[in-house]
Amino acid sequence: MTALKIENLSKSFGGIQAVLNYNLELPDNTITGLIGPNGAGKTSIFNLISGIYRPDSGQVFLNDKEITHKALSMISRSGIARTFQNIRLFNQMTVLDNIKTAFHRRAGYHFGETILGLSKFYLSEKKIDRESMEYLNYFGLTGYKSEFAKNLCYGDQRRLEIARALASEPKVLLLDEPAAGMNQVEVEELIKLIRKVQKDFGLSILLIEHQMPVVIELCRSIQVLNFGRLIASGNPSEVISNPEVIQAYLGEMEPVI
C-alpha cells in the first residue's frame, strides 16, 4: 500500500523553479529520506504537501484520496503532520498546553458548549488532558509539563515538536531536518526515537536530513534533489555511489561510511 503518492509536482516563484515534476510513492510503514544541497527544493516539497504552498501543477494523494488543493487545515485533518527545521513551538505556553493544541481540531465540542460550560466540554477537556499526558510520558517529558516550552533544552524542544505532531494522529509524518543543531549523543538518541515512533505508531515518514549517517541508518530508500529536480532515487548504497549525487551533494560532505 502507498501512503503518500505525488505525481509531477511543480512550483516556481517568479523565474525560479523551486520544484520540477517531482514524483514520490511513499509506502505504508516506511521511512524515506529526501536529501540534496541547500536550496534544492526539499522544504518547498514539504510546503506543497502540507498545503503551505499551492502547486503550479501536479497532484498529491494521501491513501489514494487527492488532497492537492485542500486547505492547510483540511490536509492536517486528512492525516499529514510535519515538523520544521527551525522548531516552531508556542514558547509562551506550557509543554502540556503545546500538546493539547493538537487535540482541539477533534475535541468533540463546539464554541457554544465552551462558553456555556456544558458537561460535554469538561469531559472532552479531561480526555485531552489524559491523552496529552500519555504523549508526554512516551517522550519522557512528563516532568516538564508545567514548564514554558522556551525553557526546554534544544533536544527536548525537538521531542516536544514531534510529540505535538503525533498528537494530531497523522498517517504520514514529515520531518524537516530533525537532527539540525544536535550533538552526536543527541543524534544517536534521535535515531532511536524516530525508529521507535515509526514502529509504535505505524507511520510513514518522509525525512529531510543533511546528516547522512541519520539518513542511512533510518531510511529504506532515498531521493536526491538538485535545483528542484529529482536526480536519483534508490536504496542508500545505490544513492551514495551515484556519480551525479556525489558531484551535486555528497562530494561536498565528509565521508558517510
Q: Is the pLDDT of residue 111 over 70?
A: no
Under a CB-based contact definition with an 8 Å cutoff, are residues 196 and 163 in contact? no
169 has a pLDDT exceeding 50: yes
* Residues 177-203: tens digit of each pLDDT: 999 989 999 999 999 999 999 999 999
**Reduced to 3 DSSP states, what percent helix, strand and coil does the chain have, rounded to the nearest 5?**
45, 25, 30
Which pLDDT score is estimated for 249?
A: 83
Q: Binning pLDDT at 50, 70 and 90, where does residue 255 land?
A: very low
Give the pLDDT mean for 125-136.
Answer: 91
pLDDT per residue over 65-91, tens digit each?
999 999 999 999 999 999 999 999 999
Torsion of CA 42, 47, 53, 58, to 10 degrees: 60
Nearest Cα neighbor of 218 from 197, 249, 242 is 197
191 Cβ partners below 8 Å, 6+ apart? 214, 217, 218
Per-residue pLDDT, 6: 98
pLDDT average, residue stretch 5-17: 95
Residue 114 has pLDDT above 70, yes or no: no
Q: Specify whether the backbone of 43 is left (phi greater than 0), alpha (psi in -120 to 50) or beta.
A: alpha
Does pLDDT of 148 surpass 90?
yes
Q: What is the pLDDT of residue 137?
A: 97
Per-residue CA distances from 221 to 74, 100, 149, 226 (Å):
28, 34, 34, 17
Looking at residue 193, its pLDDT comes to 96
Q: Which residue type is seen at 239? A: V
Q: Residue 139's Cα: distance from chain center in Å? A: 16
Poorest-pLDDT segment among 14-18, 59-63, 144-148: 14-18
Handedness of CA 115, 121, 126, 130 (dihedral sign): negative
